[in-house]
Amino acid sequence: MGFLLNTRVGQLIVAVVLFAAVVAALLLIAKAADGVRERVRRPAMVAIFAGPALLLLALGLIYPFFRTVWMSFMDARSQSYVGFANYVDALTVPSNLIGFRNTFLWVILTPLLSTGIGLVYAVLIDKSRFEKVAKAMLFLPMAISFVGAGIIWKFVYEYKGAGQQQIGALNAVIDALGLEPVRFLQDAPANTIFLILVLVWIEAGFAMVILSASIKAVPEDIIEAARLDGASPWQLFWRITIPSIRPSLVVVLTTISIATLKIFDITRTMTGAKFDTQVLANLMYDQSFTFGNNGLGSAMAVFIFLLVVPLVIFNIRQMAKNREVRG
Amino acid sequence: MTAAVTDVDSSTQAADAAMGGGPRGSAATSARRMLGNRIGSAIALVIAVLWTVPTFGLFLSSLRPERQIKGTGWWTIFANPGLTLENYEQVLGGSSSTNLSQYFMNSLVICIPATLLPLALAIMAAYAFSVLEWRGRDVVFVGVFALQIVPLQMALIPLLRFFNDTGAGSVLLYLPLWIAHTIFALPLAIFLLHNFMSEVPRDLVEAARIDGAGHVAVFFRIMLPLMMPAIASFAIFQFLWVWNDLLVGLTFSGGQRLIQPLTAALAALTGDRGQDWHLLTAGAFVSIVIPLVVFFSLQRYFVRGLLAGSVKG
């Protein structure tokens, strides 16, 4: 018994066994219910199959959602009503405003750069002999955590004073060119751009995979017809390829924007949100869990939600439209 | 494609070949021609190098002695030879402050149930939303789908309070982490698996029902086998998501080092000992190695899942 509760593997075994038992019990009840009258059977089946998931969603997403909105109108310890004070704080205190400004930069630059690079790369390697390997190379960072990527790039950006031997790859190149080494992560406002490039490095592979599949789906007879009509490669690309893959381009752009709005790991790992690199999602975490200000932290969460909503709605409508087009 | 079109295709292809032209004209090849093959290849090569060299540099550095990592760049490996496993010994078995092996175990203990739980619940829910017929089904399904809009951040504080108030983590320490990851995975999992399940021909289910099979039998004998590729795709995604997650791990471990995942420990190490590159490089590589193995061995499923739209935020 001690082994099961006091060791990590023990806890793992208990969890898996416990959970398997619950599922087995549910399915046994379902099996028994299969034999009863239709009027009883139908609701019983729904309750057994969908009930557990719906219960967890109500408890873990729907209730917290309303609770967070409520807390955003309360003080730091959720004891008295403060109206819009937290929202005013969020939009007027200079250190918070830096978070908004940086988040704006992140959300504009990350989708554009990663989609652009992903598209160019997808086009360049299409049908080449090394296509599979080439894809895996760009795709590889997608498997790496933001924390891992943060460390990888912190190492690339590493700075040593002029005259010392540089151990960061970028400053070594700069040094070799005879220029002054750059403090990539310390000097604002450029440091935010260098953090953004890390996310671009991760997301470009995602853009490339989706766009590559989409490019391959452009019917060849259209291209062939345009070529026979004397269209130049440049015209072909802009007048045929781009319009044909536009639905995928939009989905890729919005999907990356949504992910970018919630990013906090990279900032946290690489600069600890110091040197003016604060972002919205990290503000939310710091206020709620470091400074214990549930009011302001909740208001930040609501801001993230409000910014995500239009993007998600746009994304869903676009996906629905794509499905219609494909038939 | 009709025979006529194929004919045209092959004849132009033959023509191209005869004239020494490039491969036949897909959207991408014509665009590549636009850039010129040489320049295009050079650009692709530069991108490929930028996307792989940083990871390679990290790996090579993790094998160099501490003094060399801190003093010289990894590209000088030939001028300053010497590889060692010392850094790995330190992060996997060294003194407790730099020992990451317990966090590695934590990550595994968190990941396995946090993948199995949402998967099983979502498959069952998907069955209820696609095969079972009941009033209000479509409305509830749209509701579940709409929950994807809610950012994790909206749920963190109330959920954490709930766990604290109920003492959920007092016996099974990892319970809050398992449940939190499960909840956050459900909307997308149900949506995706429902889509796959709706594509299974209704006749199959009807035929089995007429033969007297109950829902449990249909679920196990028809749905599960047909759903295996979709299930594999989602399982890989969820595993990687949980393994790479920092936000949920940090929040629901309540700062307790005892149950923190590897990502949280690494983030803390980067903050506390940001210049100890011998520890950071080896530690980061330890955390990367599992996703890389999963990724390379199951890339096919990974890409399929991606194309089906399984991107979570």
Do residue A63 and residue A93 come from a single domain?
Answer: no
* Residue A38 within a domain: yes
Do residue A296 and residue A244 come from a single domain?
Answer: yes
Range of the domain at A63: 2-71
> Which residues lie closer than 8 Å to A3 by C-beta, 6 or more apart?
A10
**Which residue reads 């975490």 in tokens?**
A285
The chain B residue lying nearest A237, using CA atoms, is B31
Q: How far is CA A88 from CA A58, A84, A134, in A?
A: 30, 6, 49
More confident residue, B98 or B180: B180
pLDDT surpasses 50 at B309: yes
Do residue A236 and residue A272 come from a single domain?
Answer: yes
Mean pLDDT to the nearest integer, A118-136: 87
Interface touch A54/B144, C-beta < 8 Å: yes
Do residue A113 and residue A62 come from a single domain?
Answer: no
Distance CA B11, CA B71 (A): 62
Do residue A95 and residue A62 come from a single domain?
Answer: no
* Most A-contacting residue of B55, B108, B121 (CB-CB within 10 A), to test interface: B121
* Residue A180 within a domain: no
User: ipTM strictly over 0.85?
Assistant: yes
| A·B CB contacts under 8 A | 369
pLDDT of residue B14: 34
Mean pLDDT (chain A, rounded):
88
Distance CA B121, CA B112 (A): 14
CATH number of B101-307: 1.10.3720.10
Which residues of chain B make contact with A40, given a CB cutoff of 8 A?
Answer: none
Mean pLDDT to the nearest integer, B55-71: 88
**Whose CA is closest to A271, among A282, A262, A260?**
A282
**What distance, in Å, lies between the first and last C-alpha atoms of chain A?**
58
Interface touch B109/A11, C-beta < 8 Å: yes
Tell me if residue B113 falls in helix, strand or coil: helix
pLDDT of residue B51: 94
pLDDT surpasses 50 at B75: yes
Interface touch B263/A265, C-beta < 8 Å: yes
Of A9, A31, A53, the CB nearest to B121: A53
Band (A299; pLDDT cuts 50, 70, 90): very high
pLDDT of residue B5: 29
Instruction: Give the total number of structural domains in chain A.
Output: 2
pLDDT of residue B180: 93
Q: Could you write out the DSSP letters of every residue in B176-230?
A: HHHHHHHHHHHHHHHHHHHHHHHTS-HHHHHHHHHTT--HHHHIIIIIHHHHHHH
- With pLDDT > 70 as the criterion, what percentage of chain A qualifies? 98
Which residues of chain B make contact with A124, given a CB cutoff of 8 A?
Answer: 32, 35, 40-41, 43-44
Do residue A249 and residue A277 come from a single domain?
Answer: yes
Which residues of chain A make contact with B176, given a CB cutoff of 8 A?
Answer: none
Question: Which tokens in the block code for residue B55?
Answer: 């990871």
* Residue A165 within a domain: no
pTM of the complete model = 0.86
Do residue A44 and residue A135 come from a single domain?
Answer: no
Longest Cα–Cα distance in chain B: 78
Q: How far is B167 from chain A (nearest CA, A)?
A: 16
- With pLDDT > 90 as the criterion, what percentage of chain B qualifies? 25
Mean pLDDT to the nearest integer, A124-133: 84
* Residue A61 within a domain: yes
Q: How far is A189 from chain B (nearest CA, A)?
A: 21
Amino acid at B85: L
Do residue A50 and residue A109 come from a single domain?
Answer: no
Mean pLDDT to the nearest integer, A81-85: 90
List the single range of A99-108, B6-15, B96-105, B162-171 with lowest mean pLDDT: B6-15
Amino acid at B44: A
pLDDT surpasses 90 at B19: no
Mean pLDDT to the nearest integer, B170-187: 89
Question: Which tokens in the block code for residue B155?
Answer: 């749920």
Question: Which tokens in the block code for residue B222?
Answer: 């028809």
Interface of B with A in 193-212 (CB under 8 A): none
Question: Which tokens in the block code for residue A216?
Answer: 């391959």
Interface touch B274/A154, C-beta < 8 Å: yes
| Torsion angles phi and psi, residue A81, rounded to 5 | -75, 130
Which residues of chain B make contact with A229, given a CB cutoff of 8 A?
Answer: none
Distance CA A66, CA A72 (A): 10
Q: How far is A134 from chain B (nearest CA, A)?
A: 7
Domain of A110, CATH number, reads: 1.10.3720.10
Mean pLDDT to the nearest integer, B176-198: 90
Mean pLDDT (chain B, rounded):
81
Distance CA B35, CA B32 (A): 5
Do residue A7 and residue A134 come from a single domain?
Answer: no
Do residue A66 and residue A110 come from a single domain?
Answer: no
Q: How far is CA B125 from CA A316, B31, B194, B201, in A?
A: 22, 45, 8, 18
pLDDT of residue A297: 92
**Whose CA is closest to B29, among A80, A60, A220, A317?**
A220
Interface touch B26/A215, C-beta < 8 Å: yes
- Looking at the complex, does the CB of residue B276 fall below 8 Å from at least one CB of chain A? no
Q: Cβ(B33)–Cβ(A234) under 8 Å?
A: no
Band (A71; pLDDT cuts 50, 70, 90): very high
* Most A-contacting residue of B39, B51, B101, B170 (CB-CB within 10 A), to test interface: B51
pLDDT of residue A115: 95
Supply the DSSP symbol for B76.
G
Do residue A106 and residue A41 come from a single domain?
Answer: no
Of B125, B291, B294, the CB nearest to A49: B125
Q: How far is A266 from chain B (nearest CA, A)?
A: 10
Of B9, B51, B280, the CB nearest to A151: B280
| Torsion angles phi and psi, residue A163, rounded to 5 | 95, -30
Using one digit for the tens of pLDDT, what is the confidence trace for B238-254?
A: 998 999 999 999 988 87
Q: How many CB atoms lie within 10 A of CB B304?
A: 16
Beta bridge partners of A81: A74
Band (B26; pLDDT cuts 50, 70, 90): low
Distance CA A268, CA A277 (A): 9
Interface touch B8/A221, C-beta < 8 Å: yes
pLDDT surpasses 90 at B22: no
Map chain A to HEC letters: CHHHHHCHHHHHHHHHHHHHHHHHHHHHHHHHHCCCCHHHHHHHHHHHHHHHHHHHHHHHHHHHHHHHHHHCCECCCCCCECCCHHHHHHHHCHHHHHHHHHHHHHHHHHHHHHHHHHHHHHHHHCCCCCHHHHHHHHHHHHHCCHHHHHHHHHHHHCCCCCCCCCCCHHHHHHHHCCCCCCCCCCCCCHHHHHHHHHHHHHHHHHHHHHHHHHHHCCCHHHHHHHHHCCCCHHHHHHHHHHHHHHHHHHHHHHHHHHHHHCCCHHHHHHCCCCCCCCCHHHHHHHHHHHCCCHHHHHHHHHHHHHHHHHHHHHHHHHHHHHHHHHC
pLDDT of residue A121: 92
Map A210-254 to HEC letters: HHHHHHHCCCHHHHHHHHHCCCCHHHHHHHHHHHHHHHHHHHHHH
The chain B residue lying nearest A205, using CA atoms, is B51
Distance CA A91, CA A75 (A): 16
The chain A residue lying nearest B28, using CA atoms, is A123
Of B55, B157, B251, the CB nearest to A298: B157
pLDDT surpasses 60 at B234: yes
Interface touch B69/A167, C-beta < 8 Å: yes
- Looking at the complex, does the CB of residue B2 fall below 8 Å from at least one CB of chain A? no
Which residues of chain A make contact with B212, given a CB cutoff of 8 A?
Answer: none
Do residue A238 and residue A299 come from a single domain?
Answer: yes
pLDDT surpasses 70 at B168: yes
Q: Domain residue spans in chain B?
A: 27-91, 101-307
